[in-house]
């Protein structure tokens, strides 16, 4: 499956992720994820938060993002 989004909406999604990133990081800190945690990001959109979670988990964790295919 692929995720289809036009350039304007892509930029809007990226901007939204940047605006919400400080709040998202606070939430991830509060969750106290372990480096070997496994996470599922439901409704991940373009995957910005999924990538942020993956960076928090490091090489031993796992984060999978899923989203409804709009195509």
Q: What sign results for the dihedral spanned by CA atoms 62, 54, 34, 59?
A: positive
For residue 15, the enclosing domain spans: 7-66
Within a domain: 41: yes
Within a domain: 25: yes
Within a domain: 17: yes
Within a domain: 24: yes
SS3 assignment for 13-26? HHHHHHHHHHHHHH
pLDDT on residue 10: 86
Within a domain: 1: no
For residues 56 and 33, the answer to whether their CB atoms sit within 8 Å is yes
Q: Over 90: is that where the pLDDT of 3 sits?
A: no
Could you give the number of structural domains in the chain?
1
Whole-model pTM: value is 0.76
Within a domain: 2: no
**HSE-up (13 A, CA, CB side) for residue 39:** 26
Beta strands in 1-71 (DSSP E): 38-42, 62-66
| Residues 15-65: tens digit of each pLDDT | 998 999 999 999 999 999 998 999 999 999 889 999 999 999 999 999 999
């Amino acid at each position: 499956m692929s995720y289809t989004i036009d350039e304007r909406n892509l930029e809007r999604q990226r901007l939204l992720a940047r605006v919400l990133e400080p709040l998202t990081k606070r939430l991830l800190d509060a969750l106290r994820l372990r480096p070997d945690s496994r996470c599922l990001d439901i409704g991940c959109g373009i995957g910005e938060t999924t990538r942020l979670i993956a960076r928090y988990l490091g090489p031993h964790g796992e984060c999978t993002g899923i989203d409804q295919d709009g195509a």
